[in-house]
Structures are given as C-alpha cells and as structure tokens.
Amino acid sequence: MKLSREEVRHLALLVHLGLSDEEVERLREQLSNILENFEVLQQVDTTGVEPTAHCIALENVLRDDVPGPSLSAGQVLANAPDREEDYLKVRAVLEQP
Amino acid sequence: MSLFRLTAHEAADRLRRRETSSVELTRAALGRIASVDPKVRAFVSVCEEQALRQAEAADARLKSGDAAPLTGIPALIKDNMCTAGVRTTCSSKMLESFVPPYDATVVEKLAGAGMVMLGKANMDEFAMGSSTEHSAFFPTHNPWDLARVPGGSSGGAAVGVAADECFYSLGSDTGGSIRQPAGFCSVVGLKPTYGRVSRYGLVAFASSLDQIGPFTKDVTDCALVLNAISGHDPRDSTSLPVPVPDYAQALVPGLKGLRLGVPKEYFVAGMQAGVQDVMEAALVRLQELGAEIDRDVSLPHTPYALAVYYIIAPSEASANLARYDGVKYGFSAKEAESMWDGLEKTKQYGLGPEVKRRIMLGTHALSSGYYDAYYLKAQKVRTLIRREFDRAFEKYDALVTPTSPVVPFKMGERMDDPLQMYLSDVCTLPMNIAGIPGISVPAGFVDGLPVGLQIVARPLAEETLLRVAYAYEQATDWHKKKPPL
C-alpha cells in the first residue's frame, strides 16, 4: 500500500516522534515500498490458525512478595536529565490558562 | 604464539598450569586492541583500569584454587547489556551517557565466574540492523576486508573475537544478530532457545524474539560460555525453569546415527553461487562424518518469514522504545516549547534513521484499521512457521542451512535500500520466529570472504547443535584461519 504524507505525520503523532519534512518524505517512500512487499502475507491461508504471540507456553509467573534490597533513590535518579531533590523534573503537563 | 591468539579454553588451561596469568592475558588483549581497533572499531568503550583490577582479582582466585572454567579470561560485551558503572549506549545518542546502576544477569553470572571485562562492543543502534553501519557513533569494519561490513547487529562483538581483541564475547540475536555476523567474520556464534538465557538487563528491542548468546573462536569455547550464562532467572519471567546440562559433554567426535535435513527453501532466491559451493562441500563433509543427509526437506512457509519478522519485531520495538521520553534517563531535548514538543524533539534528535523507520513501521502495523491485516496476520503465519519446524524435527535431529545467502557486502552498499539490508538475514529470521536455537560455524571462504554454516535444532537441543558443530569443526580447519590484520 502507498502511504500519504498525512498518514506518515499521523503515525509520527501517535508515537510522539518529531520528523523533518525530508524525513516524512523519505519514510513515506520507504515504508510504502516495504509494506507493498509485505502484502505477500495475504497469500497465506490462515483460516482457523491461532496467532502466536510468544513461542513458549507462558503462564502467569507468581512469587511471594518478600522485601529485599533495592536501588537507592540516588542510584535510580543518577541518570535523570533533570531532577530536584529526589524527584524527576518535567515540563508543565497542564498549560497555564 | 601470541597470547591473544589463544582460544578461551587454551588460555584457561595455561592459567591452570600457571604458565601465564590473567593480568598477562589482559595486557595482551589490551595491546591487541590498541594496535588493531583503530582499523576495525569493534569497541565503543575500553575499560582498561577496571579490566586490570578484575585480572588481579582473578589471579588471586586462581591461586586459591577456587576458579571456574572461565576465571581470568578477558571478554567483550555487546553494548546493549547493562554493566553497573560502565556506560551502556546501545550505540545510540539516546543512551550515549547512560550508566546503568545494575548488571544484566549474564554480566553478573560471568562476573561471578571471574570474567575480565575488556569493554563494550559496537552495534547497530538498539540492535536494529544487519551491518553495524547503523551505529550512531561509527561503523565497525570486517577484519577480512576493511571495506566490507562485519554483519550485524552484533558486529562489534563478532569482530572483537575475529580480530583476537578478546577471547570471547556476548551478543544478542533478535533475527540473526549473532549468527549472521559470526558467519560474516568466520567465528562461532550461537543463538540459544528462547528462554534458555535470561534477558534481564538486556535493553529490550523485540521481547518475544531477543536472546543473548556467545561469540567464540571455536565450538569448545561456545559450550563453556553457554554453560556460564544459561539458566532460569526469577527476574526474567520468560526464562525457562529447566536444568542446564553440561554442554561440554556434547562435544563428541562423529555424527553416526544423526539425521540432518537440508530445507530447500534456504537454497534459492538471491543466494550467491560461491555460498552454494561452500554449502555443498560442507554437506559432503557432514556425510563423511557419518550423518544421514536428506536433501528433500521442504519448509514451505520460509519465504514468508521476512515479512512476518519485519512486522512483529518493529511492532514490539515501537512499544519498547516508547520509554525513551527524556525524563527518567537518556538524551533529553533542552529546547522545547512544551512537554509534548520536548518528547517529540527528544526522539527526533536522540534516535537514528533505522530506529525511526522501525518505530513507524511497527506503529503502522499495530494501528487501528491495519492491526488484523498486518500484526495479527503475521502472528498467525508465525504459528504456521513454528508447526513446520516441529514437524521437521519429528524426522530430523537438526537442519543445516547457510547462515546468510550472501558474503559480507561493501560498506554503504545497502544503506539506502532497507529491504536489501533485511534480505541478508533471510536464513536466520525463522529461528527467532519459532524460538528455536541455531549456531553458525566457519565453513569456508569465497574470494577471501567468510561463509557460515548454520545448524538448527528443536527447542533446548543446544547439545545437538554443539555436537554437529564440533564434529564439523574438528574435521575442518576454517576456524583456524585468521584475518590479515
């Protein structure tokens, strides 16, 4: 399938990925080409076939909730781009009216 | 012979006989890195001081008689496995200055076994790529021809072993990222069964496909490293709670009574003639070793594996990479008008073109209106590919294929054509889709460029892989050939 520029912009918005105009155009071409190639999958008869999300039979894995040693706030926050005391600092989520 | 040329088990034997020390091995490796890494560029970080400290500790441990098989052996770790206190970049601007506060389980296990960590290996950004050209820092070069790619995404880890800069290394394999570069660099590379090795502390790319495994100079070393990293881990709920055999016991000569299948779908479409010749010679050798070879095997859904993989892996990646928001760790765009703008700019400037491409591809496959046609369809075909392997393993102990249909290609050649790049993994993707183990061993050369032989077996049959690989290796000397550096 061929993607339009608007569709590429829409996808980028869904994942909050900033793109320049040149990137939008390049991705439009490349993704269209890749998706066209993937249409071969429609040839496969999958009637009555269950999907596989995971190759091993996964069941819920439970354990007792036992307190143990964990990282300190300092260790956890050591890589934070911006912090104040023991908090992560972010830009305002709600704009001023 | 220079110390850096030794295999890990040869070096370990010398350590036990007190003919050398871990500090000497480490100095030899660091010297080799200083002389050849400017040419091949396998390392993102070299940890000289820490490595020498670890070597001294290993020597003390060897003296006390409390040593494990790999104690004191210098190794290299792909830069997507967390190493406490040592930068873990994923070869991305996003994580360029990220210093993990904890070790990945595999690193913890190897450290417990007395590893000397020489440094961290270059890779395609976030393990997305087949050539290591998608590193945000610099490409890694193939030691057999510096103008060619080493394969990827674990290119640095493969080259470190091929160029004798380390005695073994760890890579990760989501669609061939261990086996394809092992083939391209003429070293041994194994992708274990999904769940055999803990993924805790491995930076997630596609969680249902990712698996950690070793690069080594020979099959004996592969068994030793697999022994050291395998096993259940309560911190990874997808790791398998089953006992780990001693893989070294699988290294027995001869293949009498073993049935090997050769699936014909792996020998068509874009395969280079030279690769075909190498494969023919390898099959003859396996037969001489006593294996029964059946060339009339068909896995008819193989041609769909590429599309299945490049829908499922990017879909999982698009979810996994949503965490890079510039808030908790990693790159954060400073100039932004609002929270949303900051988030968009963080990803725009922190991520490279292949990562963006896959995030977009995965987002499309999962988006409303396309989910059934792409993601769900791919998961159903995934079931068919698994079943096909299950049926084949009712008849055969293992399957034999080329590791890649092509020899290492020239740098730059496939960068503008993502589909051409993806095609170099066409022989390795199906095993990740099915969760089964595979190994690549050196099988010969085409005009001086390496070709790998891939052996594949049923889940948890790593012993079969090692047995076939070992018998083949002992009957050939491809693994002893060294690149002209």
Tell me the pLDDT band of A63, cut-offs 50, 70 and 90. Answer: confident
φ, ψ of residue B322 to 5 degrees: the values are: -65, -15
Q: Where are the domains of chain A?
A: 5-43
Give percent of chain B with pLDDT exceeding 90.
95
Across the range B314-339, mean pLDDT stands at 95
- Collapse the DSSP code of B70 into the 3-class scheme (helix H, G, I; strand E, B; otherwise coil) and give the result: coil
Across the range B217-223, mean pLDDT stands at 98
Across the range B258-282, mean pLDDT stands at 93
Give percent of chain B with pLDDT exceeding 70.
100
Residue by residue, what is the 3-state secondary structure of chain A? Answer: CCCCHHHHHHHHHHCCCCCCHHHHHHHHHHHHHHHHHHHHHHHCCCCCCCCCCCCCCCCCCCCCCCCCCCCCHHHHHCCCCCEECCEECCCCCCCCC
Distance CA B282, CA B469 (A): 11
Across the range B311-321, mean pLDDT stands at 97
What is the reported pLDDT for B376?
96
- Closest alpha carbon within chain B to A63: B234
* Catalytic site residue from B45, B177, B318, B404: B177
pLDDT at A97 over 90: no
Q: Tell me, yes or no, if A48 comes closer than 8 A to chain B by beta carbon.
A: no
Domain B3-257+398-480 matching CATH 3.90.1300.10: the answer reads yes
A62 vs chain B: nearest CA distance in angstroms?
A: 9
B257, two tokens: 């009574």
CATH number for the region A5-43 comes to: 1.10.20
Q: Where are the domains of chain B?
A: 3-257+398-480
- For testing contact with chain B, the best of A3, A41, A70, A96 (most B CBs within 10 A): A41
Across the range B450-464, mean pLDDT stands at 98
* Number of neighbours of residue B191 by Cβ within 10 angstroms: 35
Summarize pLDDT for B386-428 with one digit per residue, the tens.
999 999 999 999 999 999 999 999 999 999 888 888 889 999 9
pLDDT at B251 over 70: yes
For β-strands B168-172 and B74-78, DSSP reports them as parallel
What is the reported pLDDT for B269?
67
